[in-house]
Amino acid sequence: MNKEHNITLIEGDGIGPEISESVIKIISSTGVKINWDKCLAGNNAYLKYGKVLPDETLDSIKKNKIVLKAPVTTPIGEGFASVNVQLRKYFNLYANVRPSKNLPNIKTPFNNVDLIIIRENTEDIYAGIEEKIDENTIHGIKLTTKKASEKICDYAFQYAIKNKRKEVGVVTKANISKLADGLFLKCFREITKKYPNIKTREILVDNLCMQLVVNPSQFDVLVMPNLYGDIVSDLCAGLIGGLGIAYSANIGEFNGDNFALFEAVHGSAPDIAGKNIANPTGLLRSAVEMLKYINEHEAAEKIEKALFTVFEEGKILTSDLGGKNTTNEFTNDIINKIKTL
Ligand code: NAI
C-alpha cells in the first residue's frame, strides 16, 4: 500500500523514547509512510502541562483514531489516575488483546505456548469506585455490567473466528464472586449460543494459574474480567521469555468510530532508562499488530520475519534475553535483515 497514515505516537517515559525511536526506524525501513503525531503523556506531560494526559494528546487521538504508545510513568503522589486506565476509559477501549506465543530460540520452560488473553478493559476494580467506610475499612467495588461482559465475550468469539482459533475459555472466580463473576459467566454462556462451531470451556482463575505453569499448551483463547486479565497476562509473558517481548492491542469504539491503541505490556523500566540496553521487541510487536490493523500486511510480515531471524540466529540480543548488545545494534540488525527481504 502507498497510503500515508496519521498515527498518534506517545513516546512515554523511561525507556519509552529509546524503544520508540527503534520502532520508528524499523517501520520506516519497510517503506510504509506514517505521519507520526508525537504527543506527551505520563510524567513528561505532567512536568510540562501539570497533567498526565493533556488535552493536546486527547485531541490528536480523537483525530487519528490510532495510537502507538510506549510505556509511561505515573508520577508518585495521590490523585493521579493511571494514563493507561484513563485512555482505556475515555476512548472505551473495551478489549485488551494480549497474545503469548513462543519466539524462536528464546529458551523457556515450555516451547509450545500459543494462547491469547482477551481482557475486559473498562470495568472491575479499574472503574476506581472505592469508598472509605471508616479509618480502618474500605469498600472497593468490582463493577460488572451485562453490557460490557457480553461485549467482551462476543469480541473473544469474533477474534477466534477471524484468527482461526478453535476454543474460547472463560475465566472467573464465580464460585466466590457469585454476583459479579456470576454475571460475567452468565453472559459468556449466553454468547456461546451464537457460536456453535467454537469449542468452549469454563475455568476458575486459581486453577488456570496452576494449569498455565504446568501445561500452557492446552489453552487457546481465554476471555476474562479486567483484574484477572492484568495478572494472568503477565504470567503468560513470563511463559514466553519475559515482559520485554510481550505486546498488546487495545480495541474499542468512541463516538461511533473504531479506535485502537497498541502498546508493549511492560512499564517504563526507569532502572535501565537512557542506557541503550532496553529491548524494543514488545513495542515492535505491538507496532506489527498496528500495521496489520491498518492493512499494511506486507510490512508487518517483513518485520516479523526479520525479528524472528534475529532470534533464530541468537547472535545479536539485548541483555534481558541473555545477550550483550545495545538497543541500537539490535535495531540495526533487524533493519539490515528487512533490507534483504
Ligand atoms: P517495568 O515493566 O517497567 O520493569 C520491570 C522489570 O523489567 C525491570 O527490571 C525492567 O528493567 C525490566 N524491563 C521492562 N521492560 C523492559 C524492556 N523493554 N527491556 C528490558 N528490560 C525491561 O515495571 P515497574 O518497574 O513495575 O514499573 C516502572 C514504571 O512503569 C512505573 O511508573 C509504572 O507505573 C509504569 N508502568 C507503565 C505501564 C505502561 O505504560 N503500559 C505498564 C506497567 C508499568
Which tens digit of pLDDT belongs to each residue from 85-131? 889 989 999 999 999 999 988 889 998 999 999 999 999 998 889 99
**If you take atom 1 of ligand 1, which residue's CA is the nearest one?**
267
Flag whether pLDDT at 314 surpasses 90. yes
For the full predicted model, state whether its pTM sits above 0.95.
no
Which tens digit of pLDDT belongs to each residue from 59-80? 999 999 999 999 998 777 666 7
How many residues does this entry show for the chain?
341
Q: Are strands 199-204 and 221-224 parallel, antiparallel or unpaired?
A: unpaired
Same fold, 1-106+241-341 and 107-240: yes
Domain boundaries along the sequence of the chain: 1-106+241-341, 107-240
List the grid coordinates of 78: 495521590
Which tens digit of pLDDT belongs to each residue from 150-202? 999 999 999 999 999 999 999 999 999 999 999 999 999 999 999 999 999 99
Name the pLDDT band for 37 (thresholds 50, 70, 90): very high
Atom of ligand 1 nearest to the CA of 82: 34
Contacts of 238 (CB under 8 A, 6+ apart): none
Tell me the mean pLDDT in the region 200-211: 98
**Residue to substitute in 84, 243, 325, 326 for testing ligand 1 pocket (most ligand atoms within 8 angstroms of CB):** 243
Q: What homologous superfamily is domain 107-240 in, according to CATH?
A: Isopropylmalate Dehydrogenase (3.40.718.10)
Atom of ligand 1 nearest to the CA of 70: 40
Beginning with the edge strand found earlier in the chain, give each strand of the sheet holding 33-39 in spatial order.
Answer: 33-39, 4-10, 66-69, 257-264, 247-254, 95-101, 114-120, 221-224, 167-172, 199-204
Angle, alpha carbons 307-308-312 (nearest 5°) = 125
- CA 123, chain centre distance (Å): 17
**How confident is the model at residue 78, as a pLDDT?**
60
Tell me the mean pLDDT in the region 215-231: 97
Q: What is the C-alpha to C-alpha distance for residues 7 and 4, in angstroms, rounded to an integer?
A: 10
Contacts of 261 (CB under 8 A, 6+ apart): 61, 66, 67, 68, 69, 87, 88, 91, 93, 249, 250
**How confident is the model at residue 244, as a pLDDT?**
84
**Residue to substitute in 43, 98, 266 for testing ligand 1 pocket (most ligand atoms within 8 angstroms of CB):** 266
Q: What is the C-alpha to C-alpha distance for residues 207 and 123, in angstroms, rounded to an integer?
A: 23
Name the pLDDT band for 18 (thresholds 50, 70, 90): very high
Flag whether pLDDT at 268 surpasses 60. yes
Q: What is the C-alpha to C-alpha distance for residues 149 and 184, in angstroms, rounded to an integer?
A: 5
What's 1-106+241-341's CATH class? alpha beta
**How confident is the model at residue 128, as a pLDDT?**
86
Angle, alpha carbons 261-264-267 (nearest 5°) = 115
**If you take atom 39 of ligand 1, which residue's CA is the nearest one?**
71
- The residue that leads in pLDDT, 1 or 102, is 102
Q: What is the C-alpha to C-alpha distance for residues 277 and 92, in angstroms, rounded to an integer?
A: 34
Q: Is the dihedral of CA 113, 335, 42, 122 positive or negative?
A: negative
* CA 169 to each of CA 116, 142, 198, 218, 221: distance values in angstroms, whole numbers, following the listed order: 10, 21, 10, 11, 6
Which tens digit of pLDDT belongs to each residue from 280-306? 999 999 999 999 999 999 999 999 999
Q: What is the C-alpha to C-alpha distance for residues 341 and 339, in angstroms, rounded to an integer?
A: 6
225 lines ligand 1 (CB under 6 A): no
In whole angstroms, how large is the CA radius of gyration of the chain? 20
Q: Are 188 and 83 in contact (CB under 8 A)?
A: no
**How confident is the model at residue 341, as a pLDDT?**
87
List the grid coordinates of 39: 504527543
271 lines ligand 1 (CB under 6 A): yes
Name the pLDDT band for 1 (thresholds 50, 70, 90): low
